[in-house]
Chain A
């Protein structure tokens, strides 16, 4: 049944392979800059956060942020472009594959971008900064990174499906996606929030993702409730993405 998905996903991977160097350079530059500016530059002023040097505190978040951002961006822009600019989606739709196969392919493409780019940033941080983590923590970390990238890829698909104008996509990213990422304990511990707000912030899947991913990578801690929360959110968003895309295509 997923033969069509595979063909489209492979097409997307071919395009990614062709531009991998420039894609990775672009995607690594941003988190690396943040790492150097805040992690190194501000380290002396900030001291220890949650018992760790600031650079160590933010590094896992930067990797996670890169992955989910890449997944979201790839999905939203690719879907918009192929739907509204290049009409490729339409050329897929006149073949015997189903609409679900198309959207599943696109979700996997966004997801793959997220994982590849997240890993690339991790490797670069590992190679050129003092940031280290025990390698056996990687497995726990992936338990967050995988559903996290899937969640953001699906969210990107939903945005790219319902938004027809590129400027709307840009606005949603600025108003919703970036704040969600930044406020989820990426740059500061959740304990910095006023206590009345903390339960609300905790309820966000992004908080479970960033918080859980950091603890998994740095301390090898396994927060199974957080894994469950992120995975469940990813699943719900996946179903929503497929349903919304199918609905849009039947209009």
Chain B
């Protein structure tokens, strides 16, 4: 670590590009992640999140650009990088023919750890992840949440400096998801954590900083708060109608130039306006309409996401 006050970047990504034939999955992507941070990468399906993680974890070569982890170049120092990273991939890569404990032991051996060292380390991890009682069982008999915890434990056996988590909670029920969040949070500070997710709530709950990507490009970067402030110009209102014939008003509102986005759900219509002053125009045009209530909505990361990518996050 440097002695200046500037945080030292743990991951430096510089104009990384990856093409699969004609498709550019990663397009001149640049980013820096501070040491010890929990960094979240948000993006819809096919945005290029897994591609980026695969390149950073040396599973795949980039087409152009470069990146380094803890100062080591990913192409030149693959083996040294793999020594200090832990990886939880999107697919479940547990060995279903080995018990939970054997899964961790094999991983420790592949990292060249000595038995007396990994034995106690594995005991601790199984305890921490709440799996100690099931360590002699096969992963097939585990719930989704337990399997995910086991994969995370496996990625931690060799005490990595940087942990990559590719959609660590996808497919888990809310309770298991919260459990995983807790474990991840407990690691904060002891290592750099780079995670991808579809869940805005996850990014909001866990991450110090968030990047949003789509079509292989970085489209926004900042803390949750900073990202929300990006939308400072726009405001979102919810209008609740009391009568019938709402469609007519939806068409009318949708045709107004100050309306960026309009959505209808039952008697409620959500309007995204260019600025709050536009509200008076709206009120004027709704003169005589059966409006029960107009309320200002608090903007969420979801709004940021929609306004940046033009689509909802698919879960």
Which chain B residues lie closer than 8 Å to A164 at the CB level? Answer: none
B215 within 8 Å of A (CB atoms): no
Contacts of B154 in A (CB 8 A): 91
Give the interface segment out of B82-90, B231-239, B273-281: B82-90
Interface residues of A in 80-102 (CB under 8 A from B): 86-88, 90-98
Asked if residues B57 and A94 are in contact (CB atoms below 8 Å), the reply is yes
A-B contact count (CB 8 A): 63
* Interface pair A98/B79, CB less than 8 Å apart: yes
| Interface size range of chain B in the complex | 20 to 34
Residues in A with CB closer than 8 Å to B170 are: none
Given A87-B91, A88-B93, the answer on whether A94 and B59 have CB atoms closer than 8 Å is yes
Please tell me if the beta carbons of A7 and B59 are within 8 angstroms of each other in the complex: no
Residues on the A chain within 8 Å of B110, using CB: 4, 7-8, 92, 95-97
Q: Are A88 and B95 in contact (CB under 8 A)?
A: yes
Which residues of B, 153-182, contact A by the 8 Å Cβ criterion? 154
CA distance in complex: A251, B95 (Å): 24
What is the CB-to-nearest-CB distance from A171 to chain B, in angstroms, rounded to a whole number? 26
How close is A52's CB to chain B, nearest CB, in angstroms? 43
Contact with B along A17-36 (1 / 0, CB 8 A): 01000000000000000000
Chain A interface size, as a band, is: 20 to 34
B198 within 8 A of partner (CB): no
CB-defined contacts of B263 to chain A, threshold 8 Å: none
Distance between Cα atoms of A86 and B94 in the complex (Å): 7
Q: Which residue of A7, A18, A87, A251 contacts B93 across the interface (Cβ within 8 Å)? A: A87
The reply on A165 being an interface residue by CB < 8 A is no
> A96 with B95: in contact, given A7-B106, A11-B106, A91-B89 (CB under 8 Å)?
no
* Inter-subunit contact A96/B97 (CB<8 Å): no
Contact A95:B91 (CB < 8 A) given known A7-B106, A15-B97, A86-B96: no
For the complex, is B124 an interface residue (Cβ under 8 Å from A)?
Answer: no
Tell me which of B80, B89, B93 has the highest count of chain A C-beta atoms within 10 A of its own C-beta: B93
Residue of B nearest to A3 (CB): B112
Known A11-B98, A250-B61: A91·B107 in contact at CB below 8 Å = yes
Q: Which residue of B lies closest to A251 (CB)?
A: B60
Which of A8, A91, A96 has the most C-beta atoms of chain B within 10 angstroms of its own C-beta? A91
A96–B112 touching, CB < 8 Å: yes
Segment 226-251 of A: residues with Cβ below 8 Å from B? 250-251
Chain B residues, Cβ within 8 Å of A88: 93, 95
List the B side residues contacting A3 at CB < 8 Å: 109, 112
- The answer to whether B93 touches A95 (Cβ under 8 A) is no
Q: How far is the CA of A18 from the CA of B138 in the complex (A)?
A: 13
B185 within 8 A of A: no
Return the chain B residue nearest A15 by Cβ.
B97
Determine how close the nearest CB of chain A comes to the CB of B76; give it in whole angstroms. 15
Return chain B residues, CB-CB under 8 Å to A4.
110
| Alpha-carbon distance A7/B85, docked complex (angstroms) | 20
Scoring B residues 51 to 84 as 1 if CB is less than 8 Å from chain A, else 0, what string do you get?
Answer: 0000001111100000000000000000110110
Q: How far is the CA of A158 from the CA of B112 in the complex (A)?
A: 28
In the bound complex, CA of A96 to CA of B60 (Å): 15
A96: which of B57, B93, B102, B111 is its contact (CB, 8 Å)? B111
Q: Which has the most chain A C-beta neighbours within 10 Å: B57, B94, B98, B106?
A: B106
Q: Tell yes or no: B92 within 8 A of A by CB.
A: yes
Residue of A with least CB distance to B91: A87
Interface residues of B, Cβ cutoff 8 Å to A = 57-61, 79-80, 82-83, 85, 87, 89, 91-98, 102, 106-107, 109-112, 154
Chain A positions within 8 Å of B, measured between CB atoms, are 3-4, 7-8, 11, 14-15, 18, 86-88, 90-98, 250-251
